[in-house]
Structure 1
């Protein structure tokens, strides 16, 4: 058997192609070890990007090995066409994969440099825009990559081109089933531009009070005050009303009410409220008022308003004022606590002279 005959069999050709792939994987492993040795002490953007690109780099080396080996081999025409088509599709996947990684790394670095403190509204606005941009961009890249890959297959070319068009327009509806997803994607873009909510905003949605913890491409995660998580579609914040307690400022006024007797010392309560607020670490020194807001048959309703820097501190301040005011009233003015009064009418002598039931029974027995 001659040399050409030995290497012309299909099994041998495929074995040589497999050797080319193994060689590419070995080169990747060697290069990665060199990268680890030179960059093991670094923790910057380049190192994080290199770690994320490890698998795409392995894929592109395999594609290059197959592309170089195919012209040198004598594979049947069908095998060669299929392998060339697979290499083209994988190369497109590599480009999309790398774009995803670069988008994720760059936006993640920008977000990590921004402050998410409640008082830093500019930084939270920037972080929210970057967060939504990151999620929407990744979905667009995935759609674009999938459309290009599908367009390389003759049988699904029309479907791939329609998917490609939807990714380019970023808003065309792909049938009734895809409408909710695209509606949330468009809502995400609107939220990034108009900023009705931001990361760490304090909101009330569907009667639940909490913080905006995550803004995803199609939904928002709200951390409820008792550490539950509420998942809300992005379209909800565009289509339905909700409360945002930190839209312009985190400062908030909290209130607490008491139902007290008509003899309650209102002027002294005002002084005591001021004293409690000034001694509290949660009071911001701006609003501290006490008012009689309602009267009922047996009691009056008194309300105290106090301001704090943010809603969690306002809650603590309300609880502290309520507790200390009740304690002070119990000690200094117990008569001010709610009580019920009953008025008994009729001559006192008649009531005193009327014999008790037990006395009547004793007289009856003795008789």
Structure 2
């Protein structure tokens, strides 16, 4: 009975001590957040509460479980100690990842608030995302290695593993050269500022916005809400269009096929009228000219400008729709027509007289 009471006392005391320490830490973070509202770090650190409580509880139990004089626990003391050690290593890794994420996200939030250039914000966001994934992967690998080293069998083979690490590394590098290539391409994209989260790109004939960037793949959201997942090595080995790089202002064209009798001067005036009433047009420039002819039509090209790719798409659709409607209503003869008539018979050749 005494051993059972000691078991309950140790477990209950550990839980109470953990809750009290967690409450005190949360109180200090709330006061720091109220004192410095311009710094989001303190509020973000409060999200680490679950990992802190698990870490504290495991650490307290790991240090106090030997004081429990309960016979079933004494019979499996080594197993219980190893399990608590494994949980402690996992909780420590969780805590490190959460704290690192809070610090990185806080730094990014302060940078985003103080920077008015959207392209720089997108670049930093891409780098922050990849840095956090790298940190998570490294911490996970170290935690897994530390867990394995708690088993005597793995410590015994440590020397042979280190001796064969060079050969294994070469074999793994050859076998996973595609994966390693994508990994290094991810670093190149993140810190070479080639493409960023939020950039408007055209890849493989598809127009979309970069939604996510990892160390191995990149996701593009198309205009019709599809997701195209591509290896990051695609963007380092092939050309692609990045409409957001070097500024988001763009110039677009609208092509119309019209009849040869089309009043081009009136079309030019109508284009200016349409653009004056189009909110998507930024007023930087416009033009209308005949750029090509065919036996049956002429090709009229209208040029419009806009603040960003979305506005450009809207402006182009507006110009195309209203110009065609205006031609159909006011100048129907200017629309392309297919002329048909009875084919004239071929002239008969007269036979030479004899």
RMSD of Structure 2 on Structure 1 (CA): 3.7
**Alignment pair present for 1:91 and 2:88:** yes
1:66-145 paired onto structure 2 within 5 Å:
66-70=62-66, 79-115=76-112, 120-145=118-143
Match of 2:349 in 1: none
Partner Cα distance (2:27, 2:207) in 1: 50
Match of 1:219 in 2: 217
Secondary structure, aligned partner of 1:155: helix
In 2 relative to 1, CA 184–345 (structure 1 residues): closer, same or farther, beyond 3 Å?
A: closer
**Which deviates the most, 275-284 or 28-37?**
28-37
Match of 1:263 in 2: 261
**Alignment pair present for 1:338 and 2:331:** no
1:1-367 paired onto structure 2 within 5 Å:
12=3, 16=6, 19-33=9-23, 44-70=40-66, 79-115=76-112, 120-157=118-155, 158=157, 174=172, 180-342=178-340
Deviation at 1:231, TM superposition (A): 2.5
In 2 relative to 1, CA 201–21 (structure 1 residues): closer, same or farther, beyond 3 Å?
A: same
Count of residue pairs the alignment pairs up: 331
Kindly indicate whether the alpha-carbon contact (under 8 Å) linking 2:208 and 2:221 is maintained by their aligned counterparts in 1. Answer: yes
Deviation at 1:48, TM superposition (A): 3.2
**Which deviates the most, 75-84 or 140-149?**
75-84
Kindly indicate whether the alpha-carbon contact (under 8 Å) linking 1:136 and 1:188 is maintained by their aligned counterparts in 2. Answer: no
Partner Cα distance (1:90, 1:172) in 2: 33
Deviation at 1:56, TM superposition (A): 3.6
In 2 relative to 1, CA 19–77 (structure 1 residues): closer, same or farther, beyond 3 Å?
A: closer
Deviation at 1:178, TM superposition (A): 5.4
Query: Which is greater in Rg?
Result: 1
User: What's the CA shift string for 1:247-271, capped at 9, x where partnerless?
Assistant: 2121222111111111112222223
Secondary structure, aligned partner of 1:125: helix
Instruction: Please list every run of 5 or more consecutive structure 1 residues that lacks an aligned counterpart in the other structure.
Output: 1-5, 347-367
Instruction: Please list every run of 5 or more consecutive structure 2 residues that lacks an aligned counterpart in the other structure.
Output: 35-39, 345-354
**Which deviates the most, 130-139 or 267-276?**
267-276
